[in-house]
């Protein structure tokens, strides 16, 4: 479906979006992206993210934190547009990230995960054309940015390229938001049939299943109670009829008609 690198970056992008204050996993949570958390995120994208900082300095500057929070808002917007199947808006958001990344180019994948530019090993040509594994038969990948970009820009570029892979594959609908109660978490649906509806942060799927089960049990109990009440009323009505003298169990209108008919017949005889 996606390369391991793209899948990893998409998962990281969703995790970043989910650090914002709001409804997550059935509860309202505060802002969770602080400077230490940010340092961990940046270190995963750029191994040199924290090397230049002196001992005892803050993990990340306030300016960097503001920049990544702005990126987070852009990622969340793309995710919600994709989940709402508004492909045009989602593509506009991805294009904005790509334009900020700098020059975009096609390269041969280098390294085990194809993250950075490089050249693939050249295999000897076999008769009839290039052999498998040669550069001519190696799928190219998109790359953007420049060497020496700040770590936060490398993060933005990595997410932009991963989202571009999703768009080019026609898989934007795999960017989903949780269907759980009081949960707006973003996640990537990697199932074959696009059937994933809940995030994995706080057992949203399990909570939804338990709630549905209890609702069914309550409905069944309500039907049984209604049926029992109706049966009790029917028994009571039968008992009243059985105890009533002849004629008293009938409706007043019918009894009055019978009495009136008897009086008429007596007058006629006279």
Q: Is the pLDDT of residue 156 over 90?
A: yes
Q: Which residue has better confidence, 262 or 157?
A: 157
> What is the torsional sign of CA 43, 48, 53, 55?
positive
Confidence of residue 188 (pLDDT cuts 50, 70, 90): very high
Q: What are phi and psi of 171, to 5 degrees?
A: -120, 30
Report the C-alpha gap between 265 and 270 in whole angstroms. 9
Q: Is the pLDDT of residue 118 over 50?
A: no
pLDDT of residue 61: 82
Q: Which residues contact 171 (CB under 8 A, 6 or more apart)?
A: 1, 2
Nearest to 90 by CA among 153, 20, 170, 15: 170
- Average pLDDT on 148-163 reads 94
- CATH architecture of the domain with range 4-119+134-201: Orthogonal Bundle (1.10)
Give the tens place of pLDDT for each residue, 57-79.
554 588 999 999 999 999 999 99
Q: What are phi and psi of 27, to 5 degrees?
A: -145, 160
pLDDT of residue 192: 93
Are 145 and 157 in contact by the 8 Å Cβ rule? The answer is: yes
Helix, strand, coil share of the chain (percent; to 5): 55, 10, 35
Domain boundaries, the chain: 4-119+134-201, 211-269
Q: pTM for this structure?
A: 0.70
pLDDT of residue 121: 38
Could you tell me what percent of the chain has a pLDDT over 70?
67
Give the tens place of pLDDT for each residue, 6-43.
999 999 999 999 999 999 998 999 999 998 899 989 98
């Amino acid at each position: 479906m996606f390369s391991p690198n793209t899948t990893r970056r998409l998962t990281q992008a969703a995790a970043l979006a989910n650090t914002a204050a709001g409804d997550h996993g059935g509860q309202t949570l505060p802002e969770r992206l602080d400077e230490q958390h940010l340092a961990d995120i940046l270190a995963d994208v750029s191994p040199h993210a924290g090397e230049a900082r002196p001992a005892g300095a803050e993990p990340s500057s306030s300016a960097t934190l503001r920049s990544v929070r702005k990126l987070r808002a852009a990622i969340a917007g793309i995710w919600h547009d994709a989940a709402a199947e508004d492909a045009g808006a989602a593509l506009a958001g991805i294009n904005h990230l790509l334009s900020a990344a700098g020059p975009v180019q096609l390269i041969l994948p280098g390294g085990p995960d194809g993250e950075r530019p490089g050249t693939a090993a050249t295999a000897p040509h076999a008769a009839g054309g290039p052999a498998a594994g040669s550069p001519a038969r190696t799928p190219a990948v998109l790359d953007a940015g420049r060497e020496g970009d700040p770590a936060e820009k490398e993060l933005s570029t990595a997410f932009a390229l991963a989202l571009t892979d999703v768009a080019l594959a026609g898989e934007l609908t795999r960017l989903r938001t949780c269907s759980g109660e009081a949960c707006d978490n973003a996640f990537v649906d990697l199932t074959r049939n696009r059937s994933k509806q809940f995030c994995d942060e706080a057992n949203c799927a399990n909570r939804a299943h338990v709630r549905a089960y209890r609702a069914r049990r309550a409905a069944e109990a309500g039907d049984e109670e209604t049926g029992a009440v109706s049966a009790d009323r029917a028994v009571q009505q039968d008992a009243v009829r059985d105890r009533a003298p002849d004629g008293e169990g009938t409706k007043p209108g019918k009894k009055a008609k019978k009495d009136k008919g008897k009086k008429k017949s007596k007058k006629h005889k006279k």
